[in-house]
Structure 1
Amino acid sequence: MANKKFFKSKNIPLVIQSYLISQKYPEAKCEIKKNQLIWEGKIKPTSLSREYNIRIICNGTLRPQVILYGDKIEGIEREDFPHHFKIDKDKPEVYLCLHLPKEFNYSYSIHDTIIPWTQEWLYFYEIWLSTGKWCGGGHTPRKI
């Protein structure tokens, strides 16, 4: 039996993550402050959708925080608001739940995972607003 070697994927440094994101989303703001990557942009899940303000905060080790923010977050007052970790109605902002813990690590590029997953979450969010049913799958996360 052949000896199998397993290689651990190396994390993509935040400066490279920032560069890759900026190449794909040049209209958005991406910077590194205090060892955190902060991306702020607008995402439109479909051509018929409105644009949503999104902030992504990454430190290179912990799960990226993905925040939907702005004055007009529909349904934010509802008890059944789907797939989120935390809601702050005063700001207003919602910390989104996009994936299970093992589905992302920093060896993956944020521009190919977290940002498209956010777009998909927003797509299912719009369906939820219309139907009251979450069609995006997953599970209900623990609150932070």
Structure 2
Amino acid sequence: MAIRTYIPLRGIKKHLAIILEKKLLKKHFPFLKFQVEKGKLMCFGYVQPSEYSPIFHYRVEWDPGSSPKVFPINPSIDYDDDIHMYEEGCLCLYYPKDFIYDSKSHIYDTIIPWTHEWFLFYELYMIKGRWLHPYVEHKKI
């Protein structure tokens, strides 16, 4: 059983948390590009769910101490409750009551795989007209 490395945000400087997370991301996803801006890690990646799909480009923004946010870049995807996005335009990747992104969480083994899965289900949504992945309803009433 592998020992899970985690970032203890209490007692560690944010820039060191960013360096560690960036190192883990580079190791597991060498195609990602990085930028650090105002104490925030920005990761730029892409995924093509199938050979017939477009290549989806996305940006992950992470400020240590908060949950990462993923924004589709190209092609542009407009906000829609039915495709599990938040009004600010970021993807809804998990139900916050079921998973809390904390100092033991890492982007490489949660957010990136979930982002790629999200784009696969987005493609299925475009074909079927409904979201097929299990979800918790979060539309405003």
What is the TM-score when the length of structure 1 is the normalising length?
Answer: 0.74
- Does the Cα contact within 8 Å between 1:85 and 1:141 map onto a contact in 2? no
The partner residue of 1:73 within 42, 60, 76 is 76
Residue-by-residue CA offset, 1:36-78 (whole Å, 9 max, x unaligned) = 11000112233443210110000012221100012x336x37x
Which residue of 2 is the match for residue 130 of structure 1?
127
3-state SS, counterpart of residue 68 of structure 1 = strand
Q: Is the 8 A contact 2:82 2:130 kept in 1?
A: no
| Superposition CA RMSD, Å | 2.4
2:112 corresponds to: 115
| 1:84 lines up with 2:85 in the alignment | yes
Aligned identity (percent) is 27
Cα shift at 1:32: 2.2
Q: How many residues align?
A: 126
Question: Could you tell me which amino acid in structure 2 is paired with residue 23 of structure 1?
Answer: K
1:46 aligned onto 2:45: no
Counterpart AA for 1:43: V
Query: Cα gap change, 1:40/1:142 in structure 2, threshold over 3 Å: closer, same or farther?
Result: farther
Runs of 4 or more, structure 1, over 3 Å off, are 9-12, 140-143
Cα contact 1:84–1:141 (8 A) shared by 2: no
Relative to its length, the structure with more helix (as a share) is: 2
In the TM superposition, 1:19-58 aligns within 5 A as: 19-58=23-62
Q: Larger radius of gyration, structure 1 or 2?
A: 1
CA distance in 2, matches of 1:142, 1:65: 19
Unaligned runs of 5+ in 1: 1-8, 88-93
Deviation at 1:127, TM superposition (A): 0.5
More strand by share: 1
**How far apart are the structure 2 equivalents of 1:106 and 1:97?**
20
TM-score, normalized by length of structure 2? 0.76
Q: Secondary structure at the match of 1:84?
A: coil
